[in-house]
A and B are shown apart, each in its own frame.
Chain A
Amino acid sequence: GAVVSQHPSRVICKSGTSVKIECRSLDFQATTMFWYRQFPKQSLMLMATSNEGSKATYEQGVEKDKFLINHASLTLSTLTVTSAHPEDSSFYICSASNAGGQTNTEAFFGQGTRLTVV
């Protein structure tokens, strides 16, 4: 099946610094990618929808100036956590679909990135 690769898988950063997470669709083009956040023992919460060549659409309560999303190509979306604080420590997951114009497709998920802010 299609593969979505996320990097890094784990990162530790100091409070106040910024961290960039990459999400790549390896064998298909993804017009849209999605970013989730998952806290321990909780479900995945959609943060934003990343659209190639345009601004991301953020879910209610997600600060767009703190979580910068760039979708510069059909195979790469990045999430930058700016001025990270300990409460931003979480598991971040991206997903993408190779819709190809179909009305319903399978979503492929990256491996996730464990962010720890110290």
Chain B
Amino acid sequence: LAKTTQPISMDSYEGQEVNITCSHNNIATNDYITWYQQFPSQGPRFIIQGYKTKVTNEVASLFIPADRKSSTLSLPRVSLSDTAVYYCLVGVNSGYSTLTFGKGTMLLVSP
């Protein structure tokens, strides 16, 4: 399984754009990159998933360079409610196997 490395924590202010980068140097050809958000005492919530280039949805963008050895989750104009732990996962979730969680990035958004 591809190992991921993320910053342990990040600080931001309301209204700013936050970019969290994840390194996954040994990503396999079939692996996808998935980001989850977790609030205290809640289960993780899916944010975005991509394979290459750029993916955008209503809450975030995911930038993946051509070599796919890293990815960047971009949260536009964060609010206080975006304070959470963000996990970058790499692999294939087939329904029969699951993804491995790394340590995650604790994002603290201040007023």
A residues apposed to B, CB below 8 Å: 1, 4, 6, 30-32, 34, 36, 43-46, 49, 91, 93-95, 97-100, 102-112, 114
Contacts and interface: CB of A to CB of B under 8 A. Distances in A.
A109 B101 CA distance: 13
B13 interface: no
Contacts of A112: 41-43
Contact of B95 (A32, A46, A91): A32
Interface string B85-102: 001000011111111111
Contacts of B96: 31-32, 99
A57 B92 CA distance: 18
B41 A105 contact: no
Contacts of A30: 95
B45 interface: yes
A14 B35 CA distance: 37
Contacts of A36: 101
A102 B95 contact: yes
Kindly name the residue among B41, B94, B98 whose own CB sees the greatest number of chain A CB atoms within 10 A. B98
Kindly name the residue among A4, A94, A104 whose own CB sees the greatest number of chain B CB atoms within 10 A. A104
B44 interface: yes
B69 interface: no
Contact of B93 (A43, A44, A106): A106
Given A49-B98, A98-B95, A99-B94, A104 B32 contact: yes
Nearest to B99: A107
